Chains A and B, each alone.
Chain A
Amino acid sequence: MSRPQVLNGFHHYGQQQQQQPPFDGLLHLQHAAHAHAHTHAPGPMYRPLPVPSLPMRAPEHPAAGYNHQHTGHHGRTSTVPMSDPAYLAADDELAQLQKLSNEYEPETTVSAERRAQRAACSVPTRAPRAKPRLRGLLLPALRAFHPPSATDTPQGPLVGERQSSSAIATEYANADPVYRVKTAALPSKYAYFRTCRGDGHCGWRAIAFTYYEAMLRAGDVLKFEEEEARLTSMHNLLNLAGFSEDIYEDFVEEAFGLLQKLAGSVRAMDGAAADILLQTFNDFGTAMAIITYFKLLASAWIQSNPNEYQPFLLDYPDLKTYCQHNIEASNCEIDHVAMAALAEAMVKPAGFGLEVLYLDRSPGAEINNTYRVDGVGPDGYPSANAPTMRLLYRPGHYDILYKAEDFPPPVASQGPIHVALAGYTDGFVPNSLSSSGITDVMAFIPGLSYPAGLGQRWPPVSYDYTPNPAPQTQVAPVPAYTPAPTPAVPVASNHQEYVAPVHASHVNHHPPTNHHTLHLEPPVTLPIHPPPAPPPLSIERAPPVSVERGGPFRPSMYEFEPGYGAGQVHSLPFQTSIFRNSHYNTAHFLNPDFQPEEWSPDSEYSTNRGRHKSTSQ
Chain B
Amino acid sequence: MALSANARSNGGGSATVAQRYGLPISLPTSNPNNITSLQKELMDIMTKPTPGVTAFPDDENMMRWTATIEGPDDTPYAGLTFKLSMAFASNYPYTAPGVLFKTPIYHPNVDFSGRICLDILKDKWSAIYNINSVLLSLQSLLGEPNVSSPLNGQAAELWDKDPAEYKRLVLARHKAPEELDA
Contact = CB atoms under 8 A, between A and B. Distances in A.
B17 to A, nearest CB: 18
Contacts of A328: 126-128
Contacts of A251: 127
Interface stretch (B33-41, B49-57, B156-164): B33-41
Nearest to A201: B94
Contact of B124 (A247, A248, A288, A325): A325
Nearest to B44: A246
A250 B40 contact: yes
Nearest to B128: A247
B33 A243 contact: no
23 contacts: A45-B123, A243-B128, A247-B130, A248-B128, A284-B91, A284-B94, A285-B32, A285-B34, A285-B91, A288-B91, A289-B127, A292-B127, A295-B127, A296-B128, A324-B124, A324-B126, A329-B125, A329-B126, A330-B93, A330-B125, A330-B126, A331-B95, A331-B125
A147 B128 contact: no
Interface of A: 45-46, 147, 243, 246-248, 250-251, 284-286, 288-289, 292, 295-296, 324-325, 328-332
Contacts of B125: 329-331
Of B37, B40, B93, B130, which is in contact with the most chain A CB atoms at under 10 Å from its CB?
B93
Contacts of A246: 44
Interface in B79-95: 91, 93-95
Chain B interface, >50% SS class? loop
Nearest to A293: B127
A332 B130 CA distance: 18
Interface in B101-145: 119, 123-128, 130
Contact of A292 (B40, B96, B128, B130): B128
Q: Which size class do B's interface residues fall under?
A: 10 to 19
A248 B128 CA distance: 7
A246 B34 CA distance: 17
Given A247-B128, A324-B124, A328-B127, 4 more contacts: A329-B124, A330-B96, A330-B126, A331-B95
A286 B37 CA distance: 12
Contacts of B94: 284-285, 288, 292, 330-331
A285 B124 contact: no
Contacts of B119: 325
Contacts of B37: 250
B33 A284 contact: yes
A260 to B, nearest CB: 19
A330 B130 CA distance: 12
A288 B123 CA distance: 16
Contact of B123 (A248, A284, A329): A329
Nearest to B119: A325
Interface of B: 32-34, 37, 40, 44, 91, 93-96, 119, 123-128, 130
B33 A147 contact: no
Contacts of A250: 37, 40
Of B123, B124, B127, which is in contact with the most chain A CB atoms at under 10 Å from its CB?
B127
Nearest to B130: A247
Of B32, B95, B128, which is in contact with the most chain A CB atoms at under 10 Å from its CB?
B128
B33 A46 contact: no
Nearest to A150: B95
B48 to A, nearest CB: 9
Contacts of A288: 91, 94, 127
A235 B120 CA distance: 24
Of A248, A251, A325, A329, which is in contact with the most chain B CB atoms at under 10 Å from its CB?
A329
A47 to B, nearest CB: 11
A59 B125 CA distance: 40
A407 B123 CA distance: 39
A250 B37 CA distance: 9
Q: What 8 pairs across the A-B complex have the smallest Cβ distances? A: A285-B33, A328-B126, A292-B127, A288-B94, A330-B94, A247-B128, A330-B127, A329-B124
A295 B37 CA distance: 19
Nearest to A247: B128
A340 B127 CA distance: 22
Given A285-B34, A288-B94, A46 B123 contact: yes
A291 to B, nearest CB: 9
A329 B95 CA distance: 10
A248 B93 CA distance: 12
A524 B25 CA distance: 74
B69 to A, nearest CB: 21
A247 B41 CA distance: 11
A147 B127 contact: no
A279 to B, nearest CB: 15
Contacts of B93: 330
Contacts of B91: 284-285, 288
Contacts of B40: 250
B33 to A, nearest CB: 3
Contacts of A147: 123
Contacts of A292: 94, 127-128
B44 A330 contact: no
A613 B57 CA distance: 94
Nearest to A327: B126
Contacts of A284: 33, 91, 94
B128 A331 contact: no
B51 to A, nearest CB: 18
A45 B119 CA distance: 12
Of A250, A285, A288, A324, which is in contact with the most chain B CB atoms at under 10 Å from its CB?
A285
A248 B126 CA distance: 12
A329 B34 CA distance: 18
Contacts of B33: 284-286
A317 B44 CA distance: 33
A488 to B, nearest CB: 50
A247 to B, nearest CB: 5
A295 B93 CA distance: 14
A329 B44 CA distance: 23
A154 to B, nearest CB: 14
Nearest to B48: A246
A332 B128 CA distance: 14
Contacts of A46: 123
A293 to B, nearest CB: 10
Contacts of A295: 127
Nearest to B91: A284
A257 to B, nearest CB: 13
Contact of A331 (B32, B34, B44, B123): B123
B31 to A, nearest CB: 8
A583 B95 CA distance: 76
A152 to B, nearest CB: 14
Contacts of A329: 123-126
A201 to B, nearest CB: 9
Contacts of B34: 285
